[in-house]
Amino acid sequence: MKRRAIGFWKPAAHLHWSKLHQAGETEAVLRRHAEAVLAVFEGSRRNEYVLSTQALLERYLPDLDNVRAALDWSAGAGGDAQLQIALAGAMAWIWVSAGHRPEGLRRTRAAMARIELSTPPIWRRGCWGRGRAWLIRRQGRRSSPPTRERSNCIGRLGNGRSCSQPCVNKDARCHGAHQPEQAELVLQEAARISETSWPAALRARLWVARSWVLFRQARFEEGMRVGEEILQMAIALDDQRMALSALIHLEQIEAACGRLEESVARGRDMARRIRHDRFLRSGIENIVLSNLSMSLTLLGEIDEALELARHAYPLVEQAGRVLDLLDPYALLALKRGRIDDAARLLGRADMRIATGTHRRELVEQKLHDELMRSLRAALSPDELSRLMKEGEALSDEEGARLALRE
């Protein structure tokens, strides 16, 4: 049975705010509402590694507006800083899973700024630790977590399932491209300590982490086998979200290997799967449609690629993934005959890469190299340099809109 949303009374609906205000009860009602939201999302933390991501979203996504209302009140002049901190920690996961990472990052940082010595340790650790794990570290930073932190992460594996796999997964994904030996050791240690009695949703995360480490190491045949195993596990568990994650992994391997027709076929299949399922689509539609648009661009199917990119862009922006798509958008502009725009966008992308906040994946690097070869053939060195310099002054969003305009 699905849990019903908390329900938030709106001024025009069931709650007479003026009467409450006159009676001096408005703040008391808003506090009770925030406390109810906190109770619900503290429960989500207990379910985080028991339920699948899709099941979690089905249960908690209907309360996203309640989350916003509770955080808005607690952050305001009449609110409660300690409650804001507790709320931010309890609900850090939903921002990423639902595709709202920039909003979650903004709200969590606002709560972190209010942490004091008087803040209860459990709330302080929840806000700071979960906020960093779910939101801050997922910005694609090149720098790796301190060695001591990695060691502590491994040391906690045997102390409870709730703090094991998520730590391992983040470490593996962070180091897969930069320090593959360390990532491999962490995954081996996790596999050794993990227990078959753990919930399937928790054990599956080890397999997902393994698949992306193999991808980033260009071990495509192994990665394909692991991806197929995850897909079969998801089918057995009737977990559509896990199945979609496996299919995205398999689609990216096809694209990385240059099998673009296969990549497009997988992408179209995934687009059909998510079309009518809000909980399956949330936080993942932008990835599916953007990957499909990129493969279509490489195949020369420009009209369809452009339509998909325009449809996906608001979701991409909402999820904080515009930087990831500057190269694909630049190639799309080039294929549309907008050579100057393509050069500007590439300049913006290269500048952002140079700042150390992002790193290209294998597919994106191949696309970037093709784009650079085409631009060098179409423009003189001086003209290319000038246009790329102009692009550096753009924001990510300005560059993306430049590429997708009519």
- The two tokens of residue 234 are 């998801």
CB 374 within 8 A of CB 366: no
CB 63 within 8 A of CB 6: yes
Whole-model pTM: value is 0.79
Average pLDDT score over residue span 131-143: 59
CB 111 within 8 A of CB 85: yes
For residue range 138-149, what is the model confidence (pLDDT) as tens digits? Answer: 454 443 443 334
* Residue in the block written with tokens 């190491």: 217
- Spell out the CATH class of 228-318: mainly alpha
For residues 357 and 283, give the distance between their C-alpha atoms in angstroms, rounded to a whole number: 21
CB 288 within 8 A of CB 105: no
Sign of CA dihedral 244, 250, 252, 254: negative
For the cut 90, the answer to whether the pLDDT of residue 349 exceeds it is yes
**Which pLDDT score is estimated for 11?**
36
**Which pLDDT score is estimated for 147?**
37
**Which pLDDT score is estimated for 186?**
65
**Which pLDDT score is estimated for 145?**
41
- Point out the least confidently predicted range of 129-133, 215-219, 285-289, 335-339: 129-133
Tell me the backbone φ, ψ of residue 176, rounded to 5 degrees.
Answer: -55, -40
Helices marked H in 217-361 — which ranges?
220-237, 240-256, 260-274, 278-281, 285-299, 302-319, 326-335, 339-354
For the cut 50, the answer to whether the pLDDT of residue 248 exceeds it is yes
For the cut 90, the answer to whether the pLDDT of residue 393 exceeds it is yes
Percent of the residues in the chain that have a pLDDT greater than 90, as a whole number: 53
Q: Which residue has the higher pLDDT, 378 or 42?
A: 378
For residue range 196-205, what is the model confidence (pLDDT) as tens digits? Answer: 666 666 677 7
- State the average pLDDT for the chain: 82
For residues 33 and 359, give the distance between their C-alpha atoms in angstroms, rounded to a whole number: 42
For the cut 90, the answer to whether the pLDDT of residue 172 exceeds it is no
For residues 105 and 321, give the distance between their C-alpha atoms in angstroms, rounded to a whole number: 13
For residues 88 and 184, give the distance between their C-alpha atoms in angstroms, rounded to a whole number: 32
CB 389 within 8 A of CB 347: yes
Tell me the backbone φ, ψ of residue 78, rounded to 5 degrees.
Answer: -100, 10
pLDDT band at 5 (very low <50, low <70, confident <90, very high): low
Percent of the residues in the chain that have a pLDDT greater than 70, as a whole number: 77
For the cut 70, the answer to whether the pLDDT of residue 90 exceeds it is yes
pLDDT band at 130 (very low <50, low <70, confident <90, very high): confident
Q: Which of 93-102, 145-154, 187-196 has the highest mean pLDDT?
A: 93-102
Domain boundaries, the chain: 17-138, 142-217, 228-318, 322-406
For the cut 80, the answer to whether the pLDDT of residue 48 exceeds it is no
For residues 297 and 310, give the distance between their C-alpha atoms in angstroms, rounded to a whole number: 13
